[in-house]
Amino acid sequence: MSAPLLETRNLEIRFGGVIAANDVSLTIESGRNLAIIGPNGAGKTTFLNICTGWLKPTRGQVLFEGKDITPLPPRKIVRRGVARAFQIPQLFTEHTALENLLIAVAAREGLRNPVRDLHTIPERAEMMHLLEMVNCADVADRTVVELSEGQRKLVDIAVALALRPRLLLMDEPTSGVASSQKHRIMEILVEALAQAQVTSVFVEHDMGIVEKYADEVAVWNAGNVQLRGTPAEVLEHPDVIRDVIGEVA
Amino acid sequence: MDTVSSAARPQAPATGAPGLRLLATLLAVAALGAVPFVAPTMQLLVNLALAKGLAVMGVTVLLRAGQVSFGHALYFAVAAYGGAFLMAAMPGADLLLLLVAGVAGATLAGLLVGLFVVRYRGIFFGMLNLAFSMIFWSILEKFYHITGGADGIRLPRPTVLGMELGRGDFELVLFYLSIALMLGLGWFTIRWFASPMGQLFQTIKTNETRLEYLGVSPRRALLSGYLLSALLCGAGGVIMGVAQGVVTPEYAWWIRSGEMVFIAVLGGSGSVQGAFIGALIYEFVRTYASAFAGDVWQMLLGGFLLVIILFAPRGVIGIVEAIGRRTARSEDTR
């Protein structure tokens, strides 16, 4: 039996007296979209930060395709096939949307030719296609500061996809976006992930989004996984309704 | 920070028609090339300005990544002293050998210092560079028997492709070599800025987090630009040393580093062309202001910089580009 795509074993991290990850053991299989939900401060973003090497756990292990990646810095984890999209899009603000992707592909391919123009690299067409996939081809030549928040989110995700990851971790992909746009963004995103055959884990607060686009849901509470299951199972659970959704069961 | 940002974008909107820009560049190079014949008394002054321009280009490279070095005179001095030591060890060495050795020495020094300073950003980066240049300055001052102390050491006239030239001919060769270096290294630097490697380097200014999450080490990216900047400063140092015929610890002095930053801002921070325009203006203002205004030339320069910062935040190159844009627009509407 092959190893899960991502596995965490007994992860623990403390910030002073606060335990942000408390013995987290979790497996993520290929081809699934896992949503992480939970109240603020439950440790959801911390979990993503540990898995991508930004934070080092005080105890436990992170395994990607069966190999221990716990001590590696983010850049080495990225090179193994784990990409990240952020709650606040992390883009190169002085560059255009397309240039952000071209820079990503230059990083992926290790392009070192010191006199070749970035715009003439052969992967340009591939990056334009990626922008089309996330519905941002029409803003390819606009600088990031000229993009709407929703477009920035999508370009941020496209940058991560440009790295051809096998796993994409996303922190609130629809936060800061107008409600009317959220489902549109998720539809584009889920389709792009399916086309690129990328497994995803995303932190989300909008239960409508979780219900519609996640294959599985993990509920975080006090630094640990409280519950895991299909959206239908999890979102109907009285504890989730009480602690996360905030309605009286 | 609009100053650097707009200048830093390699794909920035064209400033004037490409043909117009090419014409302007050709005219500027032709004008420079004519100096020894049209205004021979200015030849040395222009040559010194070109040497400084090369070094300022090095500082400009770092500005593209949002970093300011207050110690790049170190590489200027390492290359110049390298050339002087080489001439002492091999009398009659060739000018090109001197240039290659000086530049290689500066780049090697850049690697040694760079491996350490690329861990830091902002004021710490700037001050650590300053610290290294001042350490080198003290070595040059204190190790009198090797370095000649405050008096420095002579850098005798090298041969050119095996030929011993008279002073006039040699100065002419040096002058045109400086122009060739300006064009060659300037072209390379502009190309490098637009290359994937140069683009990765420049993203340090806007988002190191994303750079790390692209699988790139920001330190390595910064080091690549740091090496280029040391190389460019080294080229300037060799030309300056050979042109003056003597190298002194003043080459590594902090004021020299400050001067490079000053010229970079004056010319247009982040602009390759601005480095040379700024250096030419600086040398001319300094020379003539000190001749006609005695002790207040620094004040005049300071005032000039103040005016530039207040009214032309993109430096002199920004003014030139604005004129180019206006000309192109009027051509279009005609």
**Mean pLDDT along residues B284-299:** 81
Burial label for B280, CB within 10 Å (0-12, 13-18, 19+), is: buried
Say whether both A249 and A231 belong to one domain: yes
Distance CA B178, CA B240 (A): 10
CA dist list (Å): A39 to A10, A234, B156, B174 = 21, 14, 75, 71
* CA distances, A132 to each of A29, A137, A144, A191, B147 (Å): 28, 5, 16, 12, 63
> pLDDT band at residue B332, thresholds of 50, 70 and 90?
low
With CA atoms as reference, the chain B residue closest to A159 would be B214
Q: In 3-state terms, what secondary structure has residue A61? A: strand
* Chain A: residue whose CA lies nearest to B204: A92
Contact B130, B70 (CB under 8 A): yes
Q: Which two tokens stand for residue B240?
A: 């300056």
3-state secondary structure of B120: coil
- As a whole-number percent, the residues of chain B with pLDDT over 70 amount to 93
Specify if B116 maps to a domain. Answer: yes
Whether residues A174 and A211 share a domain: the answer is yes
Whether B334 is in a domain gets the answer no
Residue located via tokens 């090496």: B227
Do A90 and B196 lie within an 8 Å CB cutoff? no
Do A185 and A139 belong together in one domain?
no
Type of residue found at B73: A
Highest mean pLDDT among A172-186, B76-90, B302-316: B76-90
d(CA A13, CA A54): 12
Nearest CA in chain B to A80: B215
A22: β partners: A12
More confident: B48 or A226? B48
Which is more confident, A230 or B334? Answer: A230
Q: Residues A71, A57: contact at Cβ < 8 Å?
A: no
* The pLDDT of residue B5: 38
**∠ at Cα B84 (B78, B88), nearest 5°?**
140
Say if residue A93 is in the same domain as residue A142: yes
- In chain A, the number of structural domains is 2
Instruction: Extract the tokens encoding B289.
Output: 């202001």
DSSP letter for each residue of B15-66:
SS-HHHHHHHHHHHHHHHHHHHHH-GGGHHHHHHHHHHHHHHHHHHHHHHTT
The reply to whether A77 and A15 lie within a common domain is yes
Question: Is pLDDT at B324 greater than 60 in this prediction?
Answer: yes
CB nearest B216 (choices: A84, A95, A107): A107
Question: A75 and B207: CB-CB below 8 Å?
Answer: no
A-to-B residue pairs, Cβ atoms closer than 8 angstroms: 101
What confidence score (pLDDT) does residue B304 get?
81
Average pLDDT, chain B: 90
The reported pLDDT for the residue numbered B320 is 81
Q: Which residues pair with B286 in a beta bridge?
A: none
Check CB contact of A121 with chain B, cutoff 8 Å: yes
The pLDDT, as a whole number, for residue A182 is 87
Q: Are residues A174 and A158 in the same domain?
A: no
**Cβ contacts (< 8 Å) between B188 and chain A: which residues?**
114-115
- Match 């030719």 to its residue by tokens: A113
More confident residue, B100 or B330: B100
Residue where a domain stops, chosen among A144, A164, A184: A164
For chain B, give the percent of residues with pLDDT over 90: 75
pLDDT digits (tens, 9 = 90+) for B205-232: 999 999 999 999 999 999 999 999 999 9
Beta bridge partners of A96: A143
Task: Give the residue with greater pLDDT, A174 vs B78.
Answer: B78
Residue ranges for chain A with pLDDT beneath 50: 248-249
Determine the pLDDT at residue B4: 35
The answer, for A159 touching chain B at a CB cutoff of 8 Å, is: yes
Q: How confident is the model at residue A11, as a pLDDT?
A: 94
Query: Which residues of chain B are within 8 Å of residue A79 when distances are taken between CB atoms?
Result: 215
pLDDT band at B269 (very low <50, low <70, confident <90, very high): confident
Of B188, B202, B215, nearest to A79 by CB-CB distance is B215
Q: In whole angstroms, what is the distance from residue B208 CA to residue B65 CA?
A: 10
The shortest CB-CB distance from A75 to any of B9, B199, B216 is to B216
Q: What is the pLDDT of residues B142-199, one digit of tens each?
A: 999 999 999 999 999 999 999 999 999 999 999 999 999 999 999 999 999 999 999 9
Q: Higher model confidence: residue A36 or residue B287?
A: A36
Question: How distant is the Cα of B51 from the closest Cα of chain A, in angstroms?
Answer: 23
Q: Could you tell me the two tokens for B286?
A: 């300094």
- Which of B1, B199, B202 best tests the A interface by mutation, with the highest count of A CBs <10 A? B199
CB contact under 8 A, B200 and A106: yes
Residues A38 and A3 reside in one and the same domain: yes
Helices (H), A85-205: 97-109, 124-133, 149-162, 179-196
Domain limits at B41?
2-329
Question: What is the CA B50 to chain-centroid distance, rounded?
Answer: 8
Angle between helices B218-244 and B43-64 (to 10 degrees): 170
Based on the fold, state whether residues A26 and A62 are members of the same structural domain: yes
d(CA B274, CA B266): 8
Asked if residue A145 and residue A102 are part of one domain, the reply reads yes
The enclosing domain of B133 has a CATH number of 1.10.3470
Query: In a mutagenesis test of the B interface, which of A90, A105, A155 is the best target, namely the one with the most B β-carbons within 10 Å?
Result: A90
- Does one domain contain both A124 and A222? no
Per CB distance under 8 Å, which residues of B are interface residues toward A?
5, 8-11, 188, 191-192, 194-200, 202-203, 205-207, 209-217
Listed residues A143, A164, A185: the one ending a domain: A164
B101 pLDDT band (50/70/90 cuts)? Answer: very high
Nearest CA in chain A to B228: A114
Nearest-angstrom CA–CA distance, B264 and B58? 9
Residue B306 has pLDDT above 70, yes or no: yes
A164, A198, A218 - which closes a domain: A164
Query: Would you call A108 and B199 a contact, using CB atoms and an 8 Å cutoff?
Result: no
The CA distance from B305 to A55, in Å, is 45
pLDDT of residue A60: 95
Q: A140 and A241: one domain?
A: no
For residue B334, is pLDDT > 70?
A: no
How many Å apart are CA A106 and CA A8, to the nearest integer? 31
Measure CB to CB from residue A103 to each of B5, B8, B199 and give the nearest one: B199
Closest chain A C-alpha to B3 CA, distance in angstroms = 12
For the record, the structure tokens of B58 come out as 């090095």
Domain span at residue A134? 89-164
- Residue B8 pLDDT more than 50? no
According to the model, what pLDDT value does residue B14 have? 43
Asked if the structure places residue B241 within a domain, the reply is yes
pLDDT at B15 > cutoff 60: no
Q: How confident is the model at residue B2 (pLDDT cuts 50, 70, 90)?
A: very low
> Which phi and psi angles does A21 have, rounded to 5°?
-135, 125
CB contact under 8 A, B215 and A108: yes
Query: Which of B190, B212, B223 to probe by mutation at the A interface, max A CB count within 10 Å?
Result: B212
Rounded CA separation A113/A58 (Å): 41
Distance CA A173, CA A157 (A): 8
The structural domain count of chain B equals 1
- Shortest distance between the Cα of A188 and any Cα of chain B, in A, equals 22
In Å, how far from its chain's centre is CA B274? 10
Cβ distance A163 to B214 less than 8 Å, yes or no, reads yes
Same domain, A175 and A240: yes
Which residues on chain B are in Cβ contact (under 8 Å) with A83?
213
CATH number assigned to the domain comprising residue A76: 3.40.50.300
